[in-house]
């Protein structure tokens, strides 16, 4: 390697590190200047209530000291992406969260009022924007855009609940036996175990490269695929075996869209994020801001029931998950192991000769190819069967959800 190339290889990382350190220094100075400026006033109750959805989304806690932040918007800040709940920007060298449609009010020179949540500033005001009323204005703008794209309804739509208030639990209970079993369902994943064993098997059959680094380079795809499969063989995050606390929360359920290409998040009231089951969310029966009482698992916010006719445990028993995504993942890993394997193919004659000699290493190498071929055929049939089950299950579930009373009734 030429001296010039060596110099480039040394200089580029040094320049990158120095640039990063300078950027961190500038941000630290800007944050210190903001904190040392002293508060202008206290956050009002209306402003604090308006920040409730942002607190629910981020899980962060802000103080009530309103401070002044003035300066230019960093050119790299992707702020103007639409009327969504929040945008992360860099304002006057400080990382900031700009709520709702505040991006519409940004200018070359900005004068903002902010509160601090750790090292991140939350914008209360900026130029002509104020957090109070911004969510309603943003939703009305989005509703007008959606109405312009939708065909005129043939029948009048039912009235939509609009009143929002902070969520207040009205009661609690413990998980039922069925809900505990649902949370802890799923045993050993045999597809992942099969991939891990085939990948491990292939590591002992490749050619001898004469060096450890050469062997690692040759077998790294099989090592990666086998490691991924082995880590996913045993389900994790199922929680304790005993029942967990479930709280009952009355309020208005609605969805906030974080980005045009995502489903968004669900909130009940203004300040509590919940996890609506995907099949319920995609049914369309929870749209329109219904007033209902949700039964939510306290530890993770999972919705377990929504009125007397909507029970997650009963629906999962009637329409069980197919597991087709996992089967497709195992199939992809098997194909990856086959495509990148360093195991030489002995041919039909070689397989027959190996079996005739009954020499353990040669037999192991000869049998690897029939075994992985059989595993691929079995996995393909497994995926096809599950795909057919998904089609039938989704059709039956869609009919059931359409006939079922609305959530909360």
Most confident of 138-142, 146-150, 302-306: 302-306
**DSSP classification of residue 242:** S
Report the alpha-carbon distance of residue 258 to residue 250 in Å, rounded. Answer: 24
Greatest extent of the chain over all pairs of C-alpha atoms, in Å: 89
- Residue-wise pLDDT tens digits, 299-309: 989 999 998 99
- pTM as predicted: 0.72
Instruction: Give ∠ CA 44-48-53 in degrees, rounded to 5.
Output: 160
- Residue-wise pLDDT tens digits, 18-55: 766 666 666 677 788 888 878 889 999 989 988 888 88
392 pLDDT more than 90: yes
**What pLDDT is attached to residue 156?**
47
Paired strand residues for 111: 70
Give the ranges where 184-306 is alpha helix by DSSP (H): 190-203, 212-231, 278-281
**What pLDDT is attached to residue 160?**
47
**DSSP classification of residue 120:** E
**What pLDDT is attached to residue 2?**
62
**Nearest in space to 226 (alpha carbons), one of 324, 372, 381:** 372
> For residues 402 and 376, is the Cβ–Cβ distance under 8 A?
no
């Amino acid at each position: 390697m030429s001296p010039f190339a060596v110099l480039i290889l040394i200089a580029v990382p040094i320049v990158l590190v120095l640039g990063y350190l300078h950027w961190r220094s500038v941000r630290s100075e800007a944050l210190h200047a903001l904190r040392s400026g002293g508060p202008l006033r206290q956050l009002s109750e209306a402003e604090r209530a308006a920040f409730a959805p942002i607190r629910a989304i981020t899980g962060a806690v802000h103080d009530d000291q309103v401070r002044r932040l003035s300066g230019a918007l960093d050119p790299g800040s992707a702020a103007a992406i639409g009327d969504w709940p929040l945008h992360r920007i860099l304002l006057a060298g400080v990382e900031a969260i700009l709520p709702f449609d505040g991006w519409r009010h940004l200018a070359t020179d900005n004068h903002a009022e902010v509160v601090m949540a750790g090292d991140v500033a939350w914008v209360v005001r900026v130029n002509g924007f104020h957090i109070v009323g911004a969510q309603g204005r943003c939703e009305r703008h989005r509703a007008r855009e959606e109405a312009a794209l939708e065909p005129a309804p043939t029948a009048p739509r039912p009235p939509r609940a609009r009143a929002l208030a902070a969520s207040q639990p009205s009661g609690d209970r413990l998980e039922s036996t069925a809900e505990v079993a649902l949370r802890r369902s799923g045993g050993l994943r045999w597809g992942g175990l099969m991939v891990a064993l085939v990948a491990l098997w292939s590591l002992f059959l490749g050619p001898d490269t004469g060096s450890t680094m050469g062997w690692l380079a040759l077998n790294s795809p099989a090592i990666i695929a086998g490691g991924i499969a082995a880590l996913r063989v045993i389900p994790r995050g199922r929680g304790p075996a005993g029942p967990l606390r479930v709280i009952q929360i009355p309020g208005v359920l609605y969805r906030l869209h974080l980005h045009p290409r995502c489903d968004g998040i669900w909130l009940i009231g203004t300040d509590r994020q919940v996890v609506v089951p995907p099949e319920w969310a995609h049914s369309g029966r929870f749209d329109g801001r219904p007033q209902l009482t949700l039964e939510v698992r306290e530890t993770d916010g999972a919705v377990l029931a929504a009125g007397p006719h909507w029970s997650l445990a009963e629906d999962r028993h009637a329409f069980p998950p197919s597991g087709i995504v996992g089967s497709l993942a195992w199939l992809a890993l098997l194909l990856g192991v086959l495509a990148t394997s360093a195991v030489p193919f002995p041919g039909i004659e070689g397989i027959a000769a190996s079996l005739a000699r009954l020499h353990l290493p040669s037999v192991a190498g000869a049998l690897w190819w029939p075994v992985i071929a059989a595993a691929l055929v079995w996995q393909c049939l497994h995926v096809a069967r599950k795909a057919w089950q998904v089609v039938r299950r989704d059709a039956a579930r869609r009919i059931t959800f359409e006939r079922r009373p609305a959530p909360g009734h």
